Amino acid sequence: MGRIEKHPILGDLPERREVTIYLDGKPYPAQEGDMIAAALIANGVSTLRFTKNEHKPRSIFCGIGRCTDCVMIVDGKPNVRTCVTPVRDGMQIRTQEGTGSWEGGGAK
């Protein structure tokens, strides 16, 4: 949905280091300090996960780490709250199906 480059109260968007994150293998540009969900939404991504029983799409709801609607598999770990987790250059994110699974096999 885009970034707010200029804002009448908050001023210009500060310059931050560009990083690359991967969603289901596809690269997306992000900025250092972004929360994962914010970076994905800025890139026009609507769906962060699908529900277990009816495979329905979900995205952020509370935006502050309380409701868990935004969880995705991040660097192999499922159920990561993407609205409060910052991006990392090279981060591998997967659209989570249901309750997700540990990638690379087995519980940690």
Partner 1 sequence: MTRAELVIVGAGPAGLSAAIEAAKNGVKVLLIDENAKPGGQLFKQIHKFFGSKAHRAGVRGYVIGQQLLQETEELGIEVWLNSEVCGIEDSGHLLWVIRDGKESVQVRAEKLILSTGASENAVTFPGWNLPGVMGAGAAQTMINVHRVLPGKHIVMVGSGNVGVIVSYQLLQAGASVEAIVEAAPKIGGYGVHTAKVCRAGVPFYVGHTVKKAYGTDRVEAVDLIALDEKFRQIPGTEIHLACDTVCLATGLTPLTELAWLAGCKFDFIGALGGNIPMHNEKMQTSVPNVYIAGDIAGTEEASTAMEEGRLAGVNVACALGHCTAEHAKTRSDEIWENLNALRCGYFGQRRRDAKDLILKKGADLGI
Partner 2 sequence: MNAELKIKGAPSIEELRASPAFPSYEELRRGPIAVIECIEEIPCNPCEGACPFHAIRVGSPITNLPHLDVEKCVGCGRCVAACSGLCIYVKDFTYSETTCTISFPFEYLPLPEVGQEVEMVDRHGNVICKGTVRRVNNAKANDNTAVITAEYDKAYFEDVVNMKRLGI
Q: Does 7 bind partner 1 (CB under 8 A)?
A: yes
- CA atoms within 13 Å, Cβ hemisphere of 98: 5
Tell me whether residue 11 or residue 25 sits nearer to partner 2 (CB atom): 11
The 3-class SS string of 13-70 reads CCCCCEEEEEECCEEEEEECCCEHHHHHHHCCCCCCEECCCCCCEECCCCCCCCCCCC
- To partner 2, the closest distance from the beta carbon of 13 in angstroms equals 12
Q: Does 4 bind partner 1 (CB under 8 A)?
A: yes
Other beta carbons within 10 angstroms of residue 43's beta carbon come to: 16
Residues that bind partner 2 (CB under 8 A): 6-9
- To partner 1, the closest distance from the beta carbon of 10 in angstroms equals 6
- To partner 2, the closest distance from the beta carbon of 106 in angstroms equals 52
**Site residues for partner 1 per CB under 8 A:** 1-4, 7-10, 13, 34-35, 38-39, 41-42, 46-48, 56-66, 69, 83-84, 86
